[in-house]
Each structure stands twice: as C-alpha cells, then as structure tokens.
Amino acid sequence: MQQPRPLIITGGHVTPALAVIDVMQARNFKVPIIFVGRQYNNNSEETLSFEYREVTKRSVPFIHLTTGRFTRSMNMSTFFDVLRIPLGFINAFWILITHRPTAILSFGGYLALPMALVGFILGISIYTHEQTRELGLTNRIIGRVAKKIFTSFPETQNSSLVHKIHYTGNPLRSGITSFIKKNISQPTKSSLPLIYITGGSLGSHAINSYIEYNLSALLEKYHLIHQTGNVAEFNDYERIRLLRESLPDDKRTHYELYTHIPSDEVGDIMQRADLIVSRSGANTFFELIALSKPSVLIPLPWSAAQEQQKHAQILKDAGVATIVDQGDSNEHFLHVINTMISQTQSYEDAFKQLQKRYITEASDIIVDAIFKNT
C-alpha cells in the first residue's frame, strides 16, 4: 500500500503549529507530518531552538531550512542575511521535490515564504494562518497563492483577499485545552499566591530583569515559577540561578526557576497560577482568555504593527490585565503586581464575556478545512 503524501508544516509561529500537530496525532491521522523550521535560536549560536526540541519530542521529522530575510537595520549581519534569501528558495525546492507533500500549512514568518512560493510553483496546495489582527507582510504575500487564510481574530480583513479569509481562532496547545476540558489542576506546592512569569520560548530579558531586581520583595509574599529562556547573549538563567542559590532556604523553596517548561506542563502551571506576568503575543492573549487568568502584561515595544500593545489593551479594557511599559521603573512593576494579585477574585465575569468573542477549537477547524480541500 502506497504511503500517504505528507503535510509539511512551517513558519515562525511555533505554538499554534504544535497545537495542530497534537490534534492530528490525537485523532490518529494517517497523513505523515514533516516540520520545516529553524534548528537553532539564531545563526550565531548553536543553542537548540524551542521548536526543534518540541517537534522532535513528538517524533515528527524536523528539517532545518537555511534562509535569510530583510530587516530594517543595516549592518554586516543584515547584508549576509539578505544573501541567504536565494539559498532559502533553493533549499525549499529540494525539500519539496524530495518529500512531495500533499499540502503546506504555513504559520507566517520569513521561514514560511520560500516554502509557500516554491510550493505554489510546484502545484502544492498552500494554507496559511495569521495570528495577529492584521495580516503581516509575509501572509499578505503568501495569501496571494494560498487556498485559504486562517485567522485568529474575527476582525482580520483584507479587501483583495477577503474571499480566502476563514476565521478559525488561534490554535491552543494541548497542554492548555486539556485543562479547559477537564477543569482540573494539581495543588500548588506553597500556601502563598502563585505567580507564573514567562517571556515566551526564548524568554524576555526585560521581564527577567524586573524579577531579578524585585526578587527578594516578591518572595516575601508569593511563590514564583519563572521561565527565563536561554539566549546566550544575556545569560539570564545562569545569573539568576546563582542569585537563587544565594537566597535563604525559606525563600529559595518558593522560587522555581527554569530555562524552558515543556509544553505539556505549561497548562497545569497556568491553571494553578493566581497571576501571570508575560509578554502579550497572540498565543498568550488567547491562553489567558481560555484559562481566565488575570495578568500583568509587558508588550514587546517593537512587535509588528504594535500588535502586542493592541492585545494587551483589549485585556486591559476588559478589566483583566494591567500593562507595564518596558522601561517603567522596577518600583512601579512591583506595585502593579501587588495591586493585581489583591483583586484576583474580581475578574470572572469579564472573562466570561471575552470567551464568548473568540473560538477555541481552531486546531480541529484548520485540520478539517485542509483535508476537506486536498
């Protein structure tokens, strides 16, 4: 019997990609999956990327794609990055003629562009998902050759691509959806309120710095679970680990420190948390709503089209989050934490209204749409 042709998943938004993989595996799809992505965090260091570790953990073949991109800054690094762009199209061509996928599902970003354009030339069905409220540049290009453009927000529109836009919501990782369905969590190790701090898969140096400065004061009142990331440039984890080791025993036991937390454990941590401190990317936005978790949000200042600021503002306007601008004082950050956590019982009704506005079954909808049309 002939082996089914695979689905290739690619792109820069890894968390929704993993959510789709999890749904396909849970539903025992016979279609093989291949992930094309970035094996290392960047070209200058050989730290394995979050996507590589999570994809291979699921026993999905991972193919590293070497390509480049245009950036706003102009330096020697940018010059060499641009030179890699043609290499990306050559690599994409060889990957696609070798594996002959039935379809390509893109999650945006510069990695997805050569795969989608070369795939279209080779007659492969292209689908793409947009996480943010406005179509990014890559998805505006890929959208021209895609069969469907899946969107996270019902507001996402584009006059020339309106016939392809299909509102699905944002795929939520299985570690989140399983706790929504079961509505269970493990008890916290401490009687203190639990704060979960995360800067995303790579971590956030700005968030880590706020925690580092205020650590002693925070540990007087709270139990902390802190995911720092492992970007070698800042060396945050190692520096903060040494700080943790210097703490008195009673404080050290209330401070859990990790470079990364496996995706199948994040749902439990978020469910148990009384407050979450994080950036405000699309994944975080939808997960906070799904789990009804109040938050202190520190939007990435240079996110495309100020999307993180917009996400944070929606939650702030709903009364379930407070925004701390990167660069606000350490004292202000601590004050916001104390204020938010004193009000955690007052957010339930606001979250119920938010949950009516957004779809939570995105992964299933996307999978069904692709295999209905291929």
Q: What is the pLDDT of residues 128-153, one digit of tens each?
A: 999 988 898 899 999 999 999 999 99
Q: Which residue has the higher pLDDT, 122 or 160?
A: 122
Go through the domains of the chain in sequence order and give each one's CATH number.
7-170+359-373 (3.40.50.2000), 177-357 (3.40.50.2000)
Going 206 to 281 to 13 to 360, the CA torsion angle's sign is positive
Phi, psi of 112 (to 5 degrees): -75, -25
Angle at 284 between CA 172 and CA 50, to 5 degrees: 75
Q: Which residue has the higher pLDDT, 80 or 29?
A: 29
| pLDDT for position 174 | 83
Measured CA to CA in angstroms, residue 110 lies from 170, 273, 345 at distances of: 20, 34, 42
Answer yes or no: are the C-beta atoms of 23 and 50 closer than 8 Å.
no
Q: Which residues contact 50 (CB under 8 A, 6 or more apart)?
A: 14, 201, 202, 260
pLDDT band, very low/low/confident/very high, at 67 (cuts 50, 70, 90): confident
Q: How many CB atoms lie within 10 A of CB 177?
A: 23
Q: Which residue has the higher pLDDT, 36 or 134?
A: 36
Start-to-end CA distance of the chain, whole Å, equals 20
Tokens of 288: 């906070």
Answer yes or no: are the C-beta atoms of 36 and 111 closer than 8 Å.
yes
pLDDT band, very low/low/confident/very high, at 183 (cuts 50, 70, 90): low
As a dihedral over the C-alpha atoms of residue 85, residue 33, residue 260, residue 339, rounded to 10 degrees, the angle is: 90
